[in-house]
Structure 1
Amino acid sequence: MRPPVCVVGPSDSGKTTLIESLVAALESAGRVGTIKSIHHDIEIDTPGKDTHRHRTAGADTVVGLTPSLSFEITPGGKDAADSERALLEATVSDLQDAGYEFVLIEGFHDAPYPKVVLGDREGIEPPVVARGSLEEFDVEALASSIVDETLFDDR
């Protein structure tokens, strides 16, 4: 199984932009799933709407199905997990088990997965497989090296 790839770096270094470009470059080669580390709580469910009411009534999981999207809201974020790393690894495993050929992760600089580092961030947990500024990356070449797994040769 192809390992996931973390894109890490300081705020405003271009992580999201690189992820967007990689998703577009990889989608023709297979299904792409992404994971985003968020450092503060956000409300993704509109208070007062039905799914929010289901959740606040005590449902363990709420699934919303729209004409074009589906979503699941389940308690158990980073604070509820045994560890952030265990939660990330379980989420990666779930995506891979669901048939995603590529998993891109924004953030999680201490994860055990190969990392593309943007900016001058130090103290990144190995393996670091590429480093540079957003402008220095050739996205098509980076995507090709993920597809053919040459990006991971020096792990």
Structure 2
Amino acid sequence: MSQELPFRVVCLAGPSDSGKTTLVERLVPRLADHGRVATVKSIHHDIEIDTPGADTHRHRTAGAETVVGVTPELTFDVTTRGKRDPPDRPDGDAVLEGETDDPELRALADTLERLEARGYAFVVVEGFSAAPLPTVLVGDRDPSAVGGPVVGRGADDLETLVETIRGLDPLVDRG
């Protein structure tokens, strides 16, 4: 698969327990047949994903803004700049409409830029319903409650959703 595939992003929006994560689980393997896939999950409460006392946790609490852990099977990074305090964009260019005024959108835009730079073809975003991204509505979410254009519904045929996502305009022009 070529690393030069367009960078396409879709948001899944719906109420809690509406089936968003289940839809992510169904979409990811199908999209992976066509390019590298990453996912982004909006979490509305703080969780500790790095075990207190572990070396990576100690690096982070010592003041590192980003800590990268490399294990025999996984590589992970923990960055201290979440939704409450996302980094400022040095060049001032917004990736997402409205991001300069909304810290949550700035955090999402920063994440999407990193994933684009890493060569992903697709990103499936779960949550972030206010983001101005093409959106698949899951459950009873009203179309007026999302920030992007509605491109599908969670109840749509899986292959139809995959083809819709593959046909989205790229978020970032790599040309």
TM-score tier, shorter chain, comes to 0.7 to 0.9
Preserved CA contact (<8 Å) 2:41 2:126: yes
Q: How does 1:134-145 map to 2 (within 5 A)?
A: 134=154, 136-145=155-164
Distance in 2, matches of 1:103 and 1:55, equals: 27
1:108, CA displacement in angstroms?
0.8
- Unmatched runs of 5 consecutive residues or more in structure 2: 1-5, 89-102, 170-175
Query: Whole-Å Cα distance in 2 between the matches of residues 2 and 62 of structure 1?
Result: 26
Dislocated runs of 4+, deviation >3 Å:
none
Q: Is the contact made by 2:13 and 2:127 (CA closer than 8 Å) also made in structure 1?
A: yes
Matched AA of 1:137: D
Do 1:3 and 1:113's aligned partners in 2 also have CA atoms closer than 8 Å? no
Tell me the CA shift for residue 87 of structure 1. 1.5
1:37-67 CA distance string (max 9 Å, x none): 0000000000111111222222232111100
Cα offset, 1:130, TM superposition: 1.2
Shift of 1:2: 4.0
Name which of 110, 116, 127 aligns with 1:90: 110
8 Å contact from structure 1 (residues 3, 114) kept in 2: no
Identical-pair percentage: 56
Match for residue 79 of structure 2 among 58, 70, 74: 74
Extract unaligned runs of 5+ from structure 1: none
The answer to whether residue 30 in structure 2 is matched with residue 25 in structure 1 is yes
Which residue does the alignment assign to 1:109?
Answer: 129
